[in-house]
Amino acid sequence: KPLQASLPHPNPTKSFWTDGEPGCNPLASEGSDSPIPEQVDVCIIGSGLTGVSCAYHLARMVESGATSSLKVVILEARDFC
C-alpha cells in the first residue's frame, strides 16, 4: 500500500548556521509575501545546499554567457536556509 506524503515535516531539524544568533539569516523570509510567478524557466524545490547550489550555478551560466537570461524561482516550505 503506498504511503501518503506528509510534507512539510511538522518538527524539522534546524540548520546549524541559521539556528544561532537572532538576525544571523537576514534573508530567511525573503520573498515570502511575493506572489509565485506564473511562468519560470526553472523551478527549484527547496533552499537547502542542493537547491541554492543549483540557483548559483544557473546564475553563473547566465553571467558567463553560456545561456540567455533565465527566470528562476526557489520554493521553500519554511524559511529560506
The dihedral built from the CA positions of residue 15, 6, 43 and 54, taken in this order, carries a sign that is positive
Per-residue model confidence as pLDDT tens digits over 23-51: 777 777 777 778 888 999 999 998 888 99
Annotated domain spans of the chain: 42-75
Quick check: helix, strand or coil at residue 43? strand
pTM here?
Answer: 0.71
Q: What local confidence, expressed as pLDDT, does residue 72 receive?
A: 94
